[in-house]
Structures are given as C-alpha cells and as structure tokens.
Amino acid sequence: MTVSRTRTGRVESDSWQLARKADGSVARIGVTLGDAAGIGPEVLIQALLHTHLHRRVELLVFVASDLAPWLRAALERFGVPMAPRKGLPGLTLVGVGPHGDPGNAVPEPGVSTLLSRQQAFFALEAMAQAAVRGEIDAMVTGPVPKGIFDHIQPRPPGQTEYLAGMLKAPRFAMMLAGPRLRVVPVTTHVPLRDVASLLSTERIVNCGLAAADALVRWLDISEPRLAVCGLNPHAGEGGRLGDEEERIIEPAVQELRALGLEVEGPVVADTVFHRAVTGRYDAVLCMYHDQALGPLKTVHFHDAYNLTCGLPVPRISPDHGTAYDIAGKGLADAASMIHALLRAEAIAVPRGGASE
C-alpha cells in the first residue's frame, strides 16, 4: 500500500483532545475501507495521519478477518496506534466474514474481485448492524462498486439505500456537501430516461424533509433555506418545455412550505447553483444525479463529502469512487475522506457535548 500526502484541500488538526459526548463517554465512530482493491485503504490512512482522529475518538474499523493482519501491519507501519481497551481513544479492528485463507485475501491494487467485493459487503453489513444496536455514534463508509450488492434482490442502488433499509429510515436523502454548496438529488443512480417517470411530489417532499432535518440536527443551520430545482430547461417555461414543474414539483414546494420550511422553486437549473454558492440557499434539491453532482464537483471536487440524511445514526462518506486506475500508485487525494472523518466527529460530538 502506498500512502502519500494530500495534494489539495489539506485539512489538519494538532488537537488530540478527547471527543467526549454529553454523557462523558468518548465518541465511537465506525469506518469501512470499501473495496480494498480501490483507494479506500490508502485514503483512510492518509486521513488519519492528517486529522489524528484516532487519538480523540474510539475508531472501529470494520474489516474482513482475512484482511485484518494486512491492515494492522499497514497501520502500525504508519504509526497509527490500536485502542488499548474498549471505551478509550484509539483504533480497533472489528473482524467480520468471509473467513478464508489470509494469504490469498489481499487484493491486487486496482483489481476488484468477487472476494474483495464480498469483503466490502460483509464489513458494511457488520457496521450497519452495530449502528442498529446503538454501538456507534456515526458511520464513515469507504468507496465501493455497486457490484457488492449483486447478491441481494432487489439490488440496492448503493450504500445509501442499503443503509437506509438496514436502519429502517422512514425517509432519507443523499446530500453532497462542501463549504459553499450542498445538493440533494431526488433520484440517484437511475438512467436519465427514467427520471421523469420516477419523480413524484411525495418523493420530493420526503427528500426536502430529510435534508432540512440534517441541516438542523447535524450542520447547525437552525432555519434552513431550500431551493427546488426544475427538471426541464427554463423550469418548463410555463408548460412549453414539459409539465413536470406544474404537475409534480410546484405541489411539492407548496407542501414543504405548508410544513413550515423556507423553500423556493421550481428554480431554473442554469441560475440556482450560482445563487446557492453566493449564499441565498443552504441546499438545492435536484431532480437527477448529474444535475446535482455536476455543479457540486465543479465547486468542490476535492473537499466535498456525502451525508445520508434521515438516518438515526449519521453516515458520511468521501465524495469519490474506488478509483481503481490509481489505486496503490500514491496518487490518491485524501481530502474528501479527511472532511468526511471530521464531519463524522462533529456530528458524533454535537455542541451539547464536551471536550477535555
């Protein structure tokens, strides 16, 4: 494994003060590597070296038992200490299945295999179960390919939907967030041709409520301002370019307003993100994946993170994929994982908590 310094967006903390919750206990944060054939392991180690988070919280890394000796050796090589015992700050490896030959378990960087995807799934499943049991205060997930869910029918579109199902969230949404822009796609990993048929007033309302709840509870925005983006060019131009705005989106905006939220929309997509970046909105609800992530990654390519709204236990992840093409080459930038870890700590230890 090759670990390099972050090339951009460096965030570093010299504070090793314990991150204590309101009851005085040390915060517990669960982490997964994602597919170990990708850049997940190296960006996690880089992020720990930059943030020293393992010195302030009890960090539980859920990892396939077959991979545990390899990961332990890598962590020790870079001076990341193991937790001395439960309840104290440090890093603990939580070994899970599948159980096979450790000598054949370590994947070649950049080469995802059925075994590496199984390892990623079992780790994610174990962390979700720990969250259900109330054993962790926040979750950070490493990047995975969608193939880790191929054995599940119906197959979850991604980790967001899988975790929402495991934690039985009544409503949830994926928020991609950076310092200047936050976006919430109403539909996520679906073909563009299916977006219009999948949109509904209820779906937009649920995303809006989940996003507003996350902004209040986890991002310290007491009165969130939401924009709801139109689907069609010029937001339908009064029905000339599509009727989804009048038929689906406008009723959702009215319903969200009736529930007491400050909401504008449907706002045309070619101006809404500029308004958000300059401070008019706290988040933009977008109708499809690339409508949200195109602007987000233009502004925050390195320093965004992914926050799952609506879960009883917050989940944060870096805003990038497995990057198999650069895995193990020392090129991976850990800035997004750094922001994900620090956001998990901030949420796990809210302002009502204490630090020593």
- pTM: predicted TM-score of the whole model, two decimal places: 0.88
* pLDDT level of residue 11 (50, 70, 90 thresholds): very low
Instruction: Indicate whether 148 pLDDT > 90.
Output: yes
pLDDT digits (tens, 9 = 90+) for 268-285: 999 999 999 999 999 999
> Mean pLDDT throughout 198-217?
97
Non-local CB neighbours of 31 within 8 Å, separated by 6+ positions: 44, 59, 60, 61, 62, 127, 139, 140, 141, 142, 341
- Distances 35 to 104, 240, 318, 323, 330 between C-alpha atoms, Å: 15, 46, 13, 10, 17
Beta pairing class for 283-286 and 225-229: parallel
Q: Which residue has the higher pLDDT, 26 or 185?
A: 185
pLDDT above 90 covers what percent of the chain?
79
Instruction: Indicate whether 107 pLDDT > 70.
Output: yes
* pLDDT level of residue 331 (50, 70, 90 thresholds): very high
> Mean pLDDT throughout 74-88?
86
For position 40, what pLDDT does the model report? 96
Instruction: Indicate whether 8 pLDDT > 90.
Output: no
Residues 179-214 as b/e (b if ≥16 CB within 10 A, e otherwise) read eebbbbbbbbeeeeeebbeebebebbbbbbbbbbeb
How many CB atoms lie under 10 A from the CB of residue 140? 27
For position 9, what pLDDT does the model report? 41
d(CA 309, CA 213): 7
What is the average pLDDT score of the chain?
A: 90
For position 167, what pLDDT does the model report? 96
CATH classification code of 172-307: 3.40.718.10
> Mean pLDDT throughout 119-141?
96
pLDDT digits (tens, 9 = 90+) for 309-323: 999 999 999 999 999
For position 3, what pLDDT does the model report? 55
> Mean pLDDT throughout 152-157?
89
Alpha-carbon dihedral sign for residues 85, 88, 90, 96: positive
> Mean pLDDT throughout 96-119?
85
> Mean pLDDT throughout 226-238?
94
d(CA 204, CA 231): 12
Instruction: Indicate whether 228 pLDDT > 50.
Output: yes
1-169+311-356 and 172-307 share one CATH topology?
yes
The residue assigned the tokens 């962790």 is 136
Q: Among the listed ranges 5-14, 65-74, 124-133, 155-164, which one has the minimum average pLDDT value?
A: 5-14
Q: Which DSSP helix (H) or strand (E) runs through 287?
A: none
Q: Among the listed ranges 42-51, 80-89, 188-197, which one has the minimum average pLDDT value?
A: 80-89
> Mean pLDDT throughout 142-149?
93
> Mean pLDDT throughout 145-152?
91
| Architecture in CATH for domain 1-169+311-356 | 3-Layer(aba) Sandwich (3.40)
The answer to whether 212 touches 224, Cβ cutoff 8 Å, is yes
Q: Where are the domains of the chain?
A: 1-169+311-356, 172-307
d(CA 56, CA 54): 6
